[in-house]
Amino acid sequence: MSESRRREFNFGAGNPAPEVFPARALGEAAQRVLARSGKELARYPDARGVPELRAIAAERFAHVHGPRPPIDDIVITNGSTQGLQLSAQGLARPGDAVVVEEFTYSGTIRVFRRNGLQLVPVALDDEGMRMDALAEVLERQAALGRTPSFIYTTATYQNPTGTTQPLERRLRLLELARRHRVPIVEDDTYADVSFEPLTEPALYKLAEPGEVLYLSSFSKILGPGVRLGWLMAPQPMLGRLLGWKIDGGTSGLSQMIVAEYFKEQLWEHVEEAALAVKEKRNVLLDALEVEFGDMGMHWTHPDGGLFLWITLPAAVDRQRLQRLATERGIVYATGQAFHALDQDVPYLRLSFGWIAKEDIAEGVRQLAECVRQSLPAVV
Amino acid sequence: MSESRRREFNFGAGNPAPEVFPARALGEAAQRVLARSGKELARYPDARGVPELRAIAAERFAHVHGPRPPIDDIVITNGSTQGLQLSAQGLARPGDAVVVEEFTYSGTIRVFRRNGLQLVPVALDDEGMRMDALAEVLERQAALGRTPSFIYTTATYQNPTGTTQPLERRLRLLELARRHRVPIVEDDTYADVSFEPLTEPALYKLAEPGEVLYLSSFSKILGPGVRLGWLMAPQPMLGRLLGWKIDGGTSGLSQMIVAEYFKEQLWEHVEEAALAVKEKRNVLLDALEVEFGDMGMHWTHPDGGLFLWITLPAAVDRQRLQRLATERGIVYATGQAFHALDQDVPYLRLSFGWIAKEDIAEGVRQLAECVRQSLPAVV
């Protein structure tokens, strides 16, 4: 195996920057909180989660979007993935239609499909879900005598595209949902990874109680390995979801430690984590400009989150590209993984949280070579 | 509020003894392993679990039942509850029949029902599931042209009854399952809480590969708050379950800490934990003899596990009993909670892991008073 094959350029999964992971501080928090409250772990955790962590979730919402929600509306989950699972179970039934962005998180697609839901895609542009397209989809469903069970959207730093819906689009989304009496599931998992001050309010904040279910996570500001997310809704919506949370609870050990750590260091760590990812985004954007600038390609310029979405030239042989990239240790996610109807589309997603900053430029240079080698020879 | 009302006698949930919970050692393990491998938590955990904890699961099976299974057959879950969930999804479809003990874990009933499964009960006696009754149930299903998706059994220290199937019954169970081509889901969650050397081998050990799915847990030897269980099966059975494990993984933080702790102290802690519970069982059996001996009641004498099952006199007004007990701060679980068909039956389950040893005799004395006060006056 040659040296160049062994080097890895991992633009794959949506992970935060490992170099700022607070391993030592978390270890100290663990020792403190276990000495104080460890015996609590000898019984089942509250299905809604540990109060201290729910309070931090409330504080985080208040800080980013304000005002502070009551912790009674908040439930800790096993990552936001469990929030998706509970949405599918509590708000829909197998066979139901749910509206999603045309390109959306592959984990969401997997969970919704496994629950027997039919995904109805709505086109995106550089400002997220298109409202003319949504209006059309909802009208068409209504004409068929159907009401989708919910609209799932990542309005801020969308996965995979990195786009953010501006305020007027959010207001229009709420108006359409209200008119058609369809609840919204807002996935706000990436909102804390902000490169500029976040100016768009959450849909949850703009909505009337019960119109929006809010999903969030500690995965993107701390790490997916702690498997802690949270969801928020008032009653009776919350109860519809909680009835499906029959897992015996989310790890009390994880919750306890993360709450103890964030109690002191939430915003300090969030800022440090976002800054580390922002610097990588900057390096990535520069590298794309250098390597792809003359190839007539398009990519998004995210203000936050972990992802950037590249439109490939239609003529690229995507199987060949994937093969060449894999040979060089370049990992990215294909457009198809995010397509609501599983179509092979000319896009790829680069994640820039996990990869070392020093590897980005070289990874993009090699990726560009692979793209060129995947284009048909000029005849 | 009077003093006697404020005291609590908690014979409720199936928790281990909190006084032996190793809070300090776990805190030290956390600090060690986070310093060494904390950054791993900045990415998604392997869906199958952390190798170190899977190795401990293998070691535990080898020690209790032998021989050592390959860790490729082991998957870490969010408590054994997720193992139940994956069984329902991977081995059955909504509407399918599954065979269960007439009285079985309420969490199992909840999970199977939520997955749309139809529970077919088999009678129990002091040696667990009755094989004549199972044979009859399977014949009846066959006559209806149906094959149950699986047989769920807790062969060792059954929940709620505390009974254990002797070897010949286990062999007969395997024979019946084989003849009817029905897989077995063996819930061995309690096998580590042993008061005598465990002489009955696991069904998994007696079976051919693929006949039994094995579920276990770290909840009963450590604490349910860590939310760590595990399941074991060879391929292709394991793959059928793993396809449904789309939760983004089980807490890597929990797994890492528990593996680091058990690496050194598994059997030392298991022995200490079982001994603490055994002493409470002894106190409970003595107290029952003293308080209930003259009332013509029957209770099981478990050799392990966390539960004891009491048959109430049929004439007891069970609603009244529950009310009186609650007034005195006595918590127990009703027979109905464990009945596969949700029938109100004259039993109650006492858990003896959580309650303080000093409170047991007084709790039983007060419970006996409540039972007497719930009997009709002699006319």
Phi, psi of A127 (to 5 degrees): -115, 30
Interface of B with A in 192-251 (CB under 8 A): 219, 222-228, 244, 246-251
Q: Looking at chain A, which residue has its C-alpha nearest residue B84?
A: A247
Q: What is the pLDDT of residues B23-61, one digit of tens each?
A: 999 999 999 999 999 999 999 999 999 999 999 999 999
Residue B17 sits at the chain A interface (C-beta within 8 Å): yes
HSE-CB at B374 with a 13 A cutoff on CA atoms is 22
Predicted local confidence at residue B379, as pLDDT: 53
Give percent above pLDDT 70 in chain A.
Answer: 98
Range A105-124 average pLDDT: 97
- Is the bond leading into B160 cis (omega within 30 degrees of zero)? yes
pLDDT at A217 over 70: yes
Q: What is the pLDDT of residues A26-78, one digit of tens each?
A: 999 999 999 999 999 999 999 999 999 999 999 999 998 888 999 999 999 99
For residues B231 and B77, is the Cβ–Cβ distance under 8 A? yes
Q: Are strands A307-311 and A347-351 parallel, antiparallel or unpaired?
A: antiparallel
Interface test with A, best of B31, B87, B255 (most A CBs within 10 A): B31
pLDDT at A198 over 90: no
How many helices (DSSP H) and strands (DSSP E) are in chain B?
Answer: 12, 15
Query: Helix, strand or coil for residue A236?
Result: coil
Shortest CA distance to B223 belongs to which of B290, B269, B168, B174?
B269
Q: What is the DSSP string of A118-173?
A: EEEEE-EETTEE-HHHHHHHHHHHHHTT---S-EEE--SS-TTT-----HHHHHHH
CB nearest A246 (choices: B15, B39, B114): B114
Range A222-240 average pLDDT: 97
Q: What is the pLDDT of residues B150-162, one digit of tens each?
A: 999 999 999 999 9
Range A184-207 average pLDDT: 95
Predicted local confidence at residue B199, as pLDDT: 85
Predicted local confidence at residue B286, as pLDDT: 97
CB nearest A253 (choices: B43, B44, B257): B257
- At a CB cut-off of 8 Å and minimum separation 6, what does A222 contact? A16, A21, A22, A228, A258, A262, A269, A273, B41
Q: Which residue is it, tokens 């005849």?
A: A379
Predicted local confidence at residue A308, as pLDDT: 97
Shortest CA gap B38–chain A (Å): 5
SS3 content of chain B, % helix, strand, coil (to 5): 45, 15, 40
Give the separation between CA A178 and CA B56, rounded to whole angstroms.
Answer: 53
Report ipTM for this prediction: 0.94
Predicted local confidence at residue A32, as pLDDT: 97
Give the separation between CA A49 and CA A250, rounded to whole angstroms.
Answer: 7
For residues A187 and A105, is the Cβ–Cβ distance under 8 A? yes
Give the separation between CA B124 and CA B309, rounded to whole angstroms.
Answer: 12
Give the separation between CA B158 and CA B165, rounded to whole angstroms.
Answer: 9
CB nearest A42 (choices: B16, B246, B250): B16
- At a CB cut-off of 8 Å and minimum separation 6, what does A142 contact? A180
Predicted local confidence at residue B378, as pLDDT: 63
Q: Which residue is it, tokens 């279910």?
A: A213
For residues B245 and B232, is the Cβ–Cβ distance under 8 A? no
The set of long-range contacts for B62-67, using a CB threshold of 8 Å and a minimum separation of 24, is B63/B267, B64/B191, B64/B192, B64/B198, B64/B202, B65/B191, B65/B201, B65/B202, B65/B204, B65/B205, B66/B205
User: Would you call B247 and A34 a contact, using CB atoms and an 8 Å cutoff?
Assistant: no
Q: What is the DSSP string of B306-347?
A: SEEEEEPPTTS-HHHHHHHHHHTTEE-EEGGGGBTT----SE
For residues A197 and A183, is the Cβ–Cβ distance under 8 A? no
- At a CB cut-off of 8 Å and minimum separation 6, what does B352 contact? B11, B277, B280, B281, B284, B306, B307, B308, B360
Shortest CA distance to B11 belongs to which of B266, B248, B329?
B329
User: Would you call A222 and B45 a contact, using CB atoms and an 8 Å cutoff?
Assistant: no
| A chain contacts of residue B28, beta-carbon cutoff 8 Å | 31
pLDDT at A353 over 50: yes
Give the separation between CA B289 and CA B359, rounded to whole angstroms.
Answer: 16
For residues A339 and A160, is the Cβ–Cβ distance under 8 A? no
- At a CB cut-off of 8 Å and minimum separation 6, what does B143 contact? none
Residue A28 sits at the chain B interface (C-beta within 8 Å): yes
CB atoms within 10 A of CB A289: 12
- Chain centroid to CA A290: 28
User: Would you call A226 and B253 a contact, using CB atoms and an 8 Å cutoff?
Assistant: yes
CB nearest B114 (choices: A227, A244, A252): A244
- At a CB cut-off of 8 Å and minimum separation 6, what does A275 contact? none
Give the separation between CA B10 and CA B367, rounded to whole angstroms.
Answer: 11
User: Would you call A222 and B15 a contact, using CB atoms and an 8 Å cutoff?
Assistant: no
Shortest CA distance to A103 belongs to which of A353, A334, A361?
A334
Range A78-102 average pLDDT: 97
Shortest CA gap A253–chain B (Å): 5
Burial class (CB in 10 A: 0-12, 13-18, 19+), B140: exposed
Q: Which residue is it, tokens 């890492």?
A: B256
Predicted local confidence at residue B309, as pLDDT: 97
User: Would you call B225 and A28 a contact, using CB atoms and an 8 Å cutoff?
Assistant: no
Please tell me what DSSP assigns to residue B195: S
Give the separation between CA B139 and CA A238, rounded to whole angstroms.
Answer: 44
Q: Which residues is B187 bridged to in the sheet?
A: B215
| B chain contacts of residue A45, beta-carbon cutoff 8 Å | 224-225, 227
Interface of B with A in 248-307 (CB under 8 A): 248-254, 257-258
CA angle A110, A112, A114 (to 5 degrees): 65
DSSP H or E run through B216: strand B212-217
Predicted local confidence at residue B7, as pLDDT: 84
Q: Say what angle helices A252-292 and A23-37 make with each other, to 10 degrees.
A: 170
Give the separation between CA A304 and CA A194, rounded to whole angstroms.
Answer: 4
Shortest CA distance to A161 belongs to which of A304, A60, A375?
A304
Per-residue pLDDT tens digits of chain B, which is 379 residues long: 444 456 899 999 999 999 999 999 999 999 999 999 999 999 999 999 999 999 999 999 999 888 899 999 999 999 999 999 999 999 999 999 999 999 999 999 999 999 999 999 999 999 999 999 999 999 999 999 999 999 999 999 999 999 999 999 999 999 999 999 999 999 999 999 999 988 899 999 999 999 999 999 999 999 999 999 999 999 999 999 999 999 999 999 999 999 999 998 999 999 999 999 999 999 999 999 999 988 878 999 999 999 999 999 999 999 999 999 999 999 999 999 999 999 999 999 999 999 999 999 999 999 999 999 999 976 5
Residue A159 is encoded by which pair of tokens? 């996965």
Shortest CA distance to A215 belongs to which of A241, A191, A188, A238?
A188
Tally C-beta pairs within 8 A across A and B: 206
pLDDT at A1 over 50: no
Predicted local confidence at residue A2, as pLDDT: 47
pLDDT at A378 over 80: no
